[in-house]
Amino acid sequence: MEWRDQGVLISVRGHGESAAIIEVFTEDHGRHAGVVRGGASRRIAPILQLGAQLDVTWRARLDEHIGAFTVEPIRSRAGTILSDRLALAGLNAVAALLSFALPEREAHPDLYAASQGMLDALGADADWPLMYLRWEMMLLEEIGFGLDLTTCAVTGSREDLAYVSPRSGRAVSRNAAGEWADRLLPLPLCLLGQGGASAGEVADGLRLTGHFLNAWLAPQLGHRPLPEARRRLVELLARAR
């Protein structure tokens, strides 16, 4: 078995004395793991940085084997943001959530394209926290847990949507919420496509996506906690407000 693709490096760990096991997120082969022989060497280790864009060739005797990667660098991303603590936290969160949430070897070409754009924006676009929030929304959609923010779950109206039901993931209008408003999740306007977002709106949005990652995705993965890298990013964004 053999294939060649480009991918984003989303995890790396040591394997034995000199090898490494990496995961890459590719357009055609999804999240895919493999062994890099000599991955701990002076020549290869600097290439294996989170977020790096790699040209990879995977080989295995049988498809179900973990297989081995040969890698060639296309470009590094971490090097351009190492001095930006917040952007580096964003890179770590994107990589960790992709590794955490995606099924192995399942292609998600739209999410792959969005993830490349998200990583390229870190440290380069002042609005990247809003891009990150929308990226988490897309991640939920891609793995089958998309939210329905088009109409009110109670009235069917498209007007004055202000909340999201924590159980159904559907929008609720301000009038329909009534006395139940304090039991619902705030819906920031930026998730309805209405312009930019303040730091507070991004924080509200991340509470929203975090709730459904915990309530819907985590149980499917054996109730594993969300990656620590995401928690650190949320905390840093809150401090930067």
| Local confidence band at 22 (pLDDT 50, 70, 90 cut-offs) | very high
| Model confidence at 130: pLDDT above 70 | yes
Query: CA 11, CA 25: separation in Å to the nearest integer?
Result: 10
| Local confidence band at 221 (pLDDT 50, 70, 90 cut-offs) | very high
The residue among 129, 132, 102 whose CA lies nearest residue 115 is 132
Query: CA 61, CA 27: separation in Å to the nearest integer?
Result: 23
Mean pLDDT of 43-49: 95
What pTM does this model have? 0.94
The full set of domains in the chain, from first to last, is 2-76 (2.40.50.140), 79-149+187-239 (1.20.1440)
Query: CA 190, CA 57: separation in Å to the nearest integer?
Result: 40
| Model confidence at 194: pLDDT above 90 | no
pLDDT value at residue 58: 97
User: Bridge partners of 152?
Assistant: none
| Model confidence at 233: pLDDT above 90 | yes
Distances (CA, A) of 101 to 36, 86, 121, 132: 23, 22, 22, 16
pLDDT value at residue 80: 76
| Local confidence band at 241 (pLDDT 50, 70, 90 cut-offs) | low
| Local confidence band at 196 (pLDDT 50, 70, 90 cut-offs) | confident
In this predicted model, what pLDDT tens digit does every residue of 173-185 receive, in sequence order?
999 999 999 999 9
In this predicted model, what pLDDT tens digit does every residue of 73-129 receive, in sequence order?
999 988 778 889 999 999 999 999 999 999 999 999 999 999 999 999 998 888 999
Look-up: residue for tokens 């989303």? 10
Mean pLDDT of 132-155: 97
